[in-house]
Amino acid sequence: MLSFFKKDKTGPIEAFAPITGKAVDLSNVPDPAFADKLMGQGIAIEPHEGKVHAPFDGKIAQLFKTKHAMLIEHSSGIQVLIHVGVDTVSLKGEGFTAHVATGDKIKQGQLLLEFDIAQIQAAGYPVITPFIVPDGQDAVKGVTEQLGDVIAGQQQVLTIQR
């Protein structure tokens, strides 16, 4: 088998902040599915700007058609979810501009998505953004979170043990 088909299966995955803002515990998200970690472990970011950047090199496993959320896959096969705001699926894509599509290869720090914070808040939705490692991935042995002020692409916020 050629080496470029091999998946990277060693060591922890370092995931950098996808959004500039304040990284907080998931319990701050006003949605029990995230707050109670029913969907997975991770953090939430209170955004200071409406830009989502790639947390690591990988690919877009799925960009939801409403552009409010995306699954990003690391070369190891492990996926993370970035879900902009709470109940923002109801906006049907309004206020969101995607710069990538499902299947696109991405580089850590690359701009993936822009969102209009004021428009989302004016529609009555919180912009706090969960960034999680969805449950059900056998390769994930644990997740360590880092909280505090973060700049997209500069601070590591999740360490995914595998």
- What digits encode the pLDDT tens for the residues 23-65? 999 999 999 999 999 999 999 999 999 999 999 999 999 999 9
The answer to whether 156 and 3 have CB atoms below 8 angstroms apart is no
Number of C-alpha atoms within 13 angstroms, CB side, residue 113?
31
Summarize the confidence of residues 103-110 as an average pLDDT.
97
pLDDT at 10: 74
Q: Tell me the average pLDDT across 122-151.
A: 97
pLDDT at 9: 61
Inform me whether the pLDDT recorded for 5 exceeds 80: no
Each domain of the chain, given as residue ranges in start order, spans 7-161
Rounded distance, CA 86 to CA 72, Å? 19
If you classify domain 7-161 with CATH, what class do you get? mainly beta
> Which positions are catalytic?
83
The whole model's pTM is what? 0.93
In this predicted structure, the answer to whether residue 8 has a pLDDT above a threshold of 80 is no
Cα separation, 122 vs 107, whole angstroms: 32
Nearest-angstrom CA–CA distance, 120 and 132:
21
AA identity, residue 102: T
